[in-house]
Amino acid sequence: MPDGRIDLPLLTTNHPLGRQAVTCEYRCGNACSHDAPNTSGNAYFGDVVRSIVSRRGMLKAGAVLAVAGAGAAALGGAAAADDDSAEQAENGDRHRRPRGMDFKPVAPNTADQVTVPEGYVQSVVIGWGDAVLPGAPAFKFDEQSAAAQAKQFGFNNDFCGLVPLWRDQYLMVSNHEYSTESFMFKGYDSAKPTEEQVKIGWAAHGMSVVVVERDRRTGKITPKLDRRYNRRITATSTFDVDGPAAGSDFLKTKADPTGRKVLGTLNNCAGGVTPWGTVLSGEENFNQYFANGKDVTDPATKARLARYGLASGPSGRKWERFDDRFDVVKEPNEVNRFGWIVEVDPLEPGENPVKHTALGRFKHEGANIHVARDGRVVAYMGDDERFDYIYKFVSKERMRPGNSRYARAHNKKLLSEGTLYVAQFTGDSPDFTPGVLPADGAYDGVGKWIPLAAGDKSFVDGFTAEEVYVFTRLAADKVGATKMDRPEDVEANPRTGLVYAALTNNTDRGKPGKEGPTEINPRGLNRHGHVLEWEEAGGDNTALTFSWRLLLVCGDPNASDTYFGGYDKTQVSPISCPDNLAFDRHGNLWISTDGNQLGSNDGLFATATSGPERGHLKQFLTVSTGAETCGPVIEDKFVLVSVQHPGELDDASADNPLAHWPDGGNSQPRSAVVAVWKPGHRIGS
Ligand code: FEO
Ligand code: CA
Ligand code: CA
């Protein structure tokens, strides 16, 4: 078998969208079984060739711009490039494998374990129920309490970020996206949750900050019960509202007549580490936590709620029975206080985390910062819904270098004021045929950033600036944004400034009454997703125009409608449903998946983005049965991944666990952070 080619076992899955039905129910409130909430008529404008930006200079192989990227190498690794070179020379393939990609791919599989490449080892760093705060009781599945959960690692960890602390210690920040009560409580009755079960759910959401330490000799990462920095943020923690919509009437509630203090963060999906050492986190499927969203009578409010997917009747978890704020009829503005990018400073445990209104309100997957040439910062963001949009925010002020108290205080205000844009993409192949590589050899074209608002100024007819920020989806509908196939992570490559977006899937594309395939979303009933790449005009990430092309059209490499950057498809790993993106220090793109449609467990993949190995996608690991791979932190020969919702199978529950990772035996599955590394590799030396 040629190197990297993997036989593809086509197994069956229980759910037409790849995920188990139970995951859809608890994670996103069955978003995919409802109509996509974007019913706007902002038509796709046609794949017209428009010379918006010069295509010259697009995708220069190995181009390196002097830019500071977000999430700069936390775990050192200065010696890694040399290590790679040495190993490749030994293997006789110095010129075949790009640096940072020297591993033998793992095969697709359905094992109830994390499967890593030969020569790598793994360990669980921390999982659901493990102690975060001093005094946390030992986790006992059958005796869980809200008080215990508030001191323990939350449920279903998604994004994971590392912020250097000192020596070999780091602040590890994790999102806890959602709770799956039927896997948390034996005998759980979804029609009648108890108050304690609901309060455990509140405490299981949010985020965790945990000091972790790396053993220089073994490479192993272990959590510390640190009194100063360890922290739990939950669905009831106090957040400050920041930016131009802070104090808006749309954000005022009975409990908070100022519109500036919110309790909690919900459904935190992906995120990013900022260059100033804070963590951004996206509030994603927040709509599912609110009851009676279709039962309001005011037509304007009704339309706004519908665009955000609010449903009628009780919420899935019935939280409204124990706190009126989750009932939209009783407290119509509480829902407007979710759907934001939040910023947490793990180095300042006494500070409230912040909700940034300048970055707009939608189902935020996450946000990733790139520092533009002039020092302004650009936040790239996706709205994870079928037919929703890609956004960017450009700060008004420039980043100050260094991490003095003065510089950090300044940089922590960068996301408070700037300009919010939405993307419009245009293909350049008028003869485009769905699922067929265009005659010019690329799915490609140009695009522009349409301004929505800057500070107190709105650029959208009929919308005040405040309305743009709080009801961003409706404002973007009006200006002709391009309807995408569920934009997940959007992130710039710190070495090149080129930007990448994971479009995870869209099984509604081309259905009757829905927009059909276009060059940028090239397949109807898109089950496997694709990965988009663009270069901002002149290499300036604040530019208003760009040129784009698809890097990957995912799926079975044997299928004619897949594309791997033009690379030989017999040599690549199959991939389905790209979700989170990360870059290693060499500029390779790492991709985690959510909802593999090819019968394998989800996994983590990597490809070079330039040079002859561009598109040579290799699978680095697979996660355990029923789990999703997320939150990757990528360093040289060291990876942290979140194994989210392991064992979440439709026929399973706490009463009948059908998978047992990570504790084995007859244990209940637990979501956890896993470290994977190559022993003996000189990390941080
Ligand atoms: Fe929580 Fe967009 O996945
Ligand atoms: Ca084309
Ligand atoms: Ca995800």
Q: What is the DSSP string of 257-316?
A: TTS-EEE----EEEEEE-TTS-EEEEE-SGGGG-B-TT----HHHHHHHHHTT--SSS-S
Asked if 492 contacts 69 with a C-beta cutoff of 8 angstroms, the reply is yes
Distance 427 CA to ligand 2 centre (A): 6
Q: In 10 A of CB 175, how many CB atoms? A: 35
Bridge partners (DSSP) listed for residue 380: 368, 392
- Which tens digit of pLDDT belongs to each residue from 354-397? 999 999 999 999 999 999 999 999 999 999 999 999 999 999 99
User: pLDDT value at position 67?
Assistant: 26
CB 345 near ligand 1, within 6 Å: no
* Out of 6-10, 304-308, 556-560, least confident range: 6-10
Name the band, by pLDDT with cuts 50, 70 and 90, for residue 32.
confident
Ligand nearest to the CA of 433: 2
Atom nearest to 158 CA in ligand 1: 1
Point out the ligand 1 atom lying closest to the alpha carbon of residue 284: 1
pLDDT single digits (tens) 61-108: 222 222 223 333 344 433 333 345 445 444 444 446 788 999 999 999
User: What integer pLDDT is reported at residue 15 of this predicted model?
Assistant: 46
Confidence grade of residue 50 (pLDDT, cut at 50, 70, 90): very low
Q: How far is the CA of 445 from the centre of ligand 2 (A)?
A: 6
Q: Would you say the CB of residue 556 lies under 6 angstroms from ligand 1?
A: no
Which of these, 329, 330, 331, 356, lies nearest to 342 by C-alpha position?
356
Mean pLDDT score, 622-647: 96
Q: Report the alpha-carbon angle 510-22-471, nearest 5.
A: 55
Spatial CB neighbours of 622, under 8 Å, sequence gap ≥ 6: 106, 108, 109, 111, 114, 115, 600, 601, 602, 603, 629
User: Nearest Cα to 71, choosing from 158, 172, 205?
Assistant: 172
> 259 versus 12: which is more confidently predicted?
259
pLDDT in tens, 471-481: 999 999 999 99
Give the tokens for residue 503: 């479009």
CA proximity to 617, closest of 653, 678, 565:
565
Q: Residue 406: which pLDDT band, with cuts at 50, 70 and 90?
A: very high
Q: From the alpha carbon of 270, which atom of ligand 1 is closest?
A: 1
Beta-strand (E) ranges in 341-474? Answer: 341-344, 354-356, 368-371, 376-382, 386-388, 390-398, 418-427, 444-454, 457-458
Separation in Å, CA 573 to CA 414, 427, 588, 616: 40, 27, 16, 8
**Is 12's pLDDT higher than 70?**
no
Percent of the chain with pLDDT over 70: 89
First to last CA, the chain: 37
Q: Which ligand is nearest to the CA of 47?
A: 2
Q: Length of the chain in residues, anyone?
A: 685
Q: Which pLDDT score, from 0 to 100, does residue 33 have?
A: 82
- Tell me the CA–centroid distance for residue 628 and ligand 3, in Å: 7
pLDDT of residue 34: 86
Q: What is the 3-state secondary structure (H, E, C) of 26-37?
A: HHHCCHHHCCCC
CB 206 within 8 A of CB 286: no
The rounded Å distance from CA 269 to ligand 3 centre is: 6
As a whole-number percent, the residues of the chain with pLDDT over 90 amount to 84
Q: Which two tokens stand for residue 546?
A: 């760009």
Mean pLDDT of 200-213: 98
Residue nearest to atom 1 of ligand 1 (CA): 269
Burial of 222 (0-12, 13-18, 19+ CB in 10 A): middle
The verdict on the CB of residue 283 being under 6 Å from ligand 1 is no
Q: Which atom of ligand 1 is nearest to the CA of 486?
A: 2
Give which of 345, 390, 387 is closest to 364, Cα–Cα.
390
- Is the distance from the beta carbon of residue 613 to the nearest atom of ligand 1 less than 6 Å? no
Q: How far is the CA of 515 from the centre of ligand 2 (A)?
A: 19
- Give the mean pLDDT of the chain: 90
Closest CA to 417 of 280, 545, 246: 246
| CA 601/CA 497 separation, integer angstroms | 32
Per the structure block, which two tokens stand in for 226? 């640190």
Task: Tell me how far the alpha carbon of residue 641 lies from the centroid of ligand 3, in angstroms.
Answer: 12
Ligand nearest to the CA of 282: 1
DSSP code, position 324: G
Going from N- to C-terminal start, the domains of the chain cover 21-40+98-286+338-677
Structure tokens at 355: 């909700």
Regarding the beta carbon of 269 and ligand 1, being less than 6 Å apart is answered yes
Task: For ligand 1, say whether the CB of 365 is within 6 Å of any of its atoms.
Answer: yes
The answer to whether 654 touches 184, Cβ cutoff 8 Å, is: yes
- The closest ligand to the CA of 55 turns out to be 2
Closest by alpha carbon to 382, among 506, 299, 224, 467?
Answer: 506
Using the predicted structure, report yes or no on whether residue 422 has a pLDDT greater than 90: yes
The pLDDT of residue 68: 27
Rounded CA separation 479/128 (Å): 43
* 430 Cα–ligand 2 center, Å: 8
Q: Which atom of ligand 1 is nearest to the CA of 488?
A: 2
- Nearest atom in ligand 1 to the alpha carbon of residue 382 is 2
Does 47 sit in the ligand 1 pocket, CB within 6 Å? Answer: no
Q: If residue 304 lies in a helix (H) or strand (E), which one and from where to where? A: helix 299-307
Say how far apart CA 574 and CA 619 lie, in whole Å.
8
**CA pair distance 173, 171, nearest whole angstrom:** 6
Atom of ligand 1 nearest to the CA of 365: 2
Ligand 1 pocket check for 331: Cβ under 6 Å: no
**Nearest ligand to the C-alpha atom of residue 602:** 3
Q: Do 113 and 624 form a contact (C-beta atoms < 8 A)?
A: yes
For 508-548, what is each residue's pLDDT tens digit?
999 999 999 999 999 999 999 999 999 999 999 999 999 99
Q: How far is the CA of 49 from the centre of ligand 1 (A)?
A: 33
Residue 594 CA: nearest ligand 1 atom is 3
Cis peptide bond prior to 662, omega within 30° of 0: yes
Dihedral of alpha carbons 646, 650, 655, 657, sign? negative
Ligand 3 centroid, distance to 31 Cα (angstroms):
14
- Ligand nearest the Cα atom of residue 437: 2
Cα–Cα distance measured from residue 576 to residue 527, given in angstroms and rounded to the nearest whole number: 8
Could you tell me if the CB of 488 is within 6 A of ligand 1? yes
pLDDT at 53 over 70: no
pLDDT at 683: 54
How crowded is the C-beta side of 190, counted as CA atoms within 13 Å? 13
**599-603: average pLDDT:** 96
Q: Which pLDDT score is estimated for 217?
A: 86
- CB within 8 Å of 653: residues ≥ 6 apart: 182, 183, 188
Which is more confident, 225 or 57?
225
Residues 662 and 193: beta-carbon distance below 8 Å: no
Ligand 2 centroid distance, CA of 655 (Å):
52
Interval between CA 479 and ligand 2 midpoint (Å): 24
**H helix or E strand, kind and range, residue 84:** helix 80-91
In angstroms, what is the span from residue 158 Cα to ligand 1's centroid? 9
Q: How far apart are CA 204 and CA 215, in angstroms?
A: 29
388 Cβ closer than 6 Å to some ligand 1 atom: no
Average pLDDT for 7-24: 57
Ligand 1 contact via 628 beta carbon (within 6 Å): no
Distance 270 CA to ligand 1 centre (A): 7
Nearest atom in ligand 1 to the alpha carbon of residue 177 is 1
